[in-house]
Amino acid sequence: MKVAVTRKEHFNAAHRLHNPEWTDDKNQMVFGKCNNPNYHGHNYDLEVTLVGTPDPATGYVYDLKVLSDLIKDHVLHHFDHKNLNLDVAYFKELNPTAENIAIVIWRILRQQIDNQYDLKIKLYETERNVVEYPIH
């Protein structure tokens, strides 16, 4: 039986939901206020969870200070106080919905975290809209 450890971080960013293959009318109909061409923004709360077995020498599954630094270096450094559509390469051709942001963050961190640890992302776009990835 394993233990899950979670570190919470946050970042603030602007974004716009838009599908360039659609007409303006269809974009407006599907994405509504989120399609504003001048962007809007959010305080994103990010929870990163690793699952593993505690090391008997430390009692840690994973040093959460190290995890926090990995998140800061590989996610927050690129996302915080940015325009996700314009400043973050991952979203040049990918709509920055909460779902896609969570998947991108998972892919970034999966390369930094040894595969012995399961990795899960939970992202709060607002207090009321939340996504989790992956779900098995």
Name which of residues 19 to 38 contact a copy of itself (CB under 8 A): 19, 21-22, 30-34, 36, 38
CA distance to 44, 115, 124, per residue, from 132 (Å): 13, 19, 9
Query: Contact, 48 vs 71, CB < 8 A?
Result: yes
Work out how close the CB of 75 gets to a copy of itself at its nearest, in angstroms, rounded to a whole number. Answer: 15
Residue type, 63: D
Residue 93 contacts a copy of itself per CB under 8 A: no
Q: In angstroms, what CA-CA distances link 61 with 56, 99, 133?
A: 9, 27, 20
Can residue 92 be called a binding residue for a copy of itself (CB under 8 A)? Answer: no
Say whether 15 is catalytic.
no
Residue count at the site for a copy of itself (CB under 8 A)? Answer: 69
Rounded to whole angstroms, the Cα distance separating 107 from 123 reads: 14
Six-digit token string for 37: 């061409």
> Are the C-beta atoms of residues 16 and 39 closer than 8 Å to each other?
yes
Q: Which residue has the tokens 């009318």?
A: 25
Selected from 28, 60, 70, 74, the binder of a copy of itself by CB under 8 A is: 60
Q: Give me the least distance between CB of 65 and a copy of itself, in Å please.
A: 7
Residues that bind a copy of itself in the complex, under the rule CB under 8 A: 1-10, 12-15, 17, 19, 21-22, 30-34, 36, 38-43, 47, 51, 54, 57-61, 63-65, 68, 80-83, 86-87, 94-100, 102-103, 118, 126-136
